[in-house]
């Protein structure tokens, strides 16, 4: 699978670890994060990865900052992106199966490398189930497009 990865200065070592982990598993990893420990701004990398996924250059994305929060908020501003912050693998699995999430985010200051591995494994292995979930995904798209009415 072609996966975009992005990170800020806080998450350098975690990015290197997860990038190598995914490559060992045979994935092609497009690294759009910083390689510098100089303080930078997480929205840059959230946007870069979101654009790569929303534009179809990559199938899924992985975002890492201190908490995973800021970088996922930034990514979610890009149309078509459903980025989720996960600190355990169960939510990552369900985020794919039910929410058709296309980016998983986590915090380098929150979880360790072993948990991060489990989270990306769960996220990449799971598949969107469609069916009853699609109506809700369509509602989210409608909110994004400004055509959602709460009476729907």
Q: Which residues of the shown chain bind ligand RB5 in the complex (CB under 6 A)?
A: 8, 10, 42, 65-67, 69-70
Are 55 and 47 in contact by the 8 Å Cβ rule? The answer is no
CB of 31 to ligand RB5, least distance (A): 17
CB of 42 to ligand RB5, least distance (A): 5
Rounded to an integer, what distance in angstroms lies between the CA atom of residue 101 and that of residue 137? 10
From the CB of residue 80, how many other CB atoms can be counted at a distance below 10 Å?
Answer: 13
Q: Annotated catalytic residue: which of 27, 98, 133, 150?
A: 98
- The residue to which tokens 């992005």 are assigned: 6
Q: Which is nearer to ligand RB5, 4 or 64 (CB)?
A: 64
- Distance from CA of residue 53 to its chain's centroid? 9
CB of 10 to ligand RB5, least distance (A): 4
Q: Which is nearer to ligand RB5, 66 or 100 (CB)?
A: 66
Q: Annotated catalytic residue: which of 9, 27, 65, 86?
A: 65
In the residue annotation, 65 being an active-site residue is answered as: yes
In the residue annotation, 98 being an active-site residue is answered as: yes
Which of 40, 35, 44, 38 has its CA nearest to residue 12? 35
List strand residue ranges (DSSP E) for the chain, in order.
2-7, 28-31, 60-65, 83-85, 103-107
Q: Which is nearer to ligand RB5, 22 or 105 (CB)?
A: 105
Q: Please identify every residue annotated as catalytic.
A: 65, 98
């Amino acid at each position: 699978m072609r996966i975009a990865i992005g990170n800020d200065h806080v998450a350098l070592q975690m990015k290197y670890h997860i990038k190598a982990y995914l490559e060992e598993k045979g994935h092609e990893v497009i690294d759009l994060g910083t390689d510098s420990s100089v303080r930078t701004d997480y929205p840059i990398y959230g946007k870069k990865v979101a654009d790569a996924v929303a534009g179809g250059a990559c199938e899924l994305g992985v975002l890492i900052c201190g908490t995973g929060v800021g970088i996922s908020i930034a990514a979610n501003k890009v149309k078509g992106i459903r980025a989720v912050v996960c600190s355990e693998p169960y939510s990552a699995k369900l985020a794919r199966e039910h929410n058709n999430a296309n980016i998983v985010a986590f915090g380098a200051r929150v979880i360790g490398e072993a948990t991060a591995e489990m989270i990306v494994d769960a996220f990449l292995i799971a598949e969107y189930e469609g069916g009853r979930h699609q109506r809700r995904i369509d509602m989210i798209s409608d909110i994004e497009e400004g055509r959602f009415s709460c009476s729907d």
